[in-house]
Chains A and B, each alone.
Chain A
Amino acid sequence: DTAVSQTPKYLVTQMGNDKSIKCEQNLGHDTMYWYKQDSKKFLKIMFSYNNKELIINETVPNRFSPKSPDKAHLNLHINSLELGDSAVYFCASSQVRTGRIEAFFGQGTRLTVV
């Protein structure tokens, strides 16, 4: 009964590869997010989607492409992976429409690019 679930939890891949991270929330929330946590634990938003519509797109390389097939899912596809992409990626969701804006986070996906 996990609220926000991400797969995989760990991902090790070589430079230049393409990889995807999947996220699903069963909270019925209308907004989903991707955050990146770097090696110094700093958290920064990458994208947010509200009912499948892209709302926030921070300064993120075009190699990162989010996709939201429905409001319960938000996937992150990364092309041509670089060493600097190594980080922990967190998916989150919130219910903005009713004002409950606190975000619920998944367990994270630790991406290591070698």
Chain B
Amino acid sequence: AQSVTQLGSHVSVSEGALVLLRCNYSSSVPPYLFWYVQYPNQGLQLLLKYTSAATLVKGINGFEAEFKKSETSFHLTKPSAHMSDAAEYFCAVSESFGNEKLTFGTGTRLTIIP
């Protein structure tokens, strides 16, 4: 069975500071991993995905994530936070091709301090 753990339900960073949102996964087969962002009263937007190609994945809005198999992690980072990054972020896992069900973490609310 697949599962995702997001450490820290709330993260606050100053504008211009590094953003680090943590995600650890559990999967019995090589996983596909995703980060989604949800702005208030909106749907989920894909930030980036890992599908067994390069371990460092670049996404939209300056975000990137690194797949570390030894640590079963897929942390999301951005070098410099912007006010518009304030949102809810979800990490999700899918157990590779053929099982398209996304299992989500509990989400991390990112607050940007001016």
Residues of A in contact with B (beta carbons under 8 Å apart): 4, 31, 33, 35, 40-45, 48, 55-56, 90, 92, 94, 96, 99, 101-108
- Contact check: which of A41, A48, A102 meets B101 at CB < 8 Å? A48
Q: A31-B100, A41-B107, A43-B90 are in contact. Are A108 and B46 (CB under 8 A)?
A: no
18 more A-B contacts (CB under 8 A) besides A41-B107, A43-B90, A43-B102? A35-B102, A40-B106, A41-B106, A42-B106, A42-B107, A45-B101, A55-B100, A90-B44, A92-B44, A99-B97, A101-B97, A102-B49, A103-B44, A105-B36, A105-B43, A105-B44, A107-B43, A108-B43
Residues of B in contact with A (beta carbons under 8 Å apart): 32, 34, 36, 38, 41-46, 49, 51, 88, 90, 94, 97, 100-104, 106-107
Chain B at the A interface: SS class: strand
Question: Which residues in B have their C-beta under 8 angstroms from that of A102?
Answer: 34, 46, 49
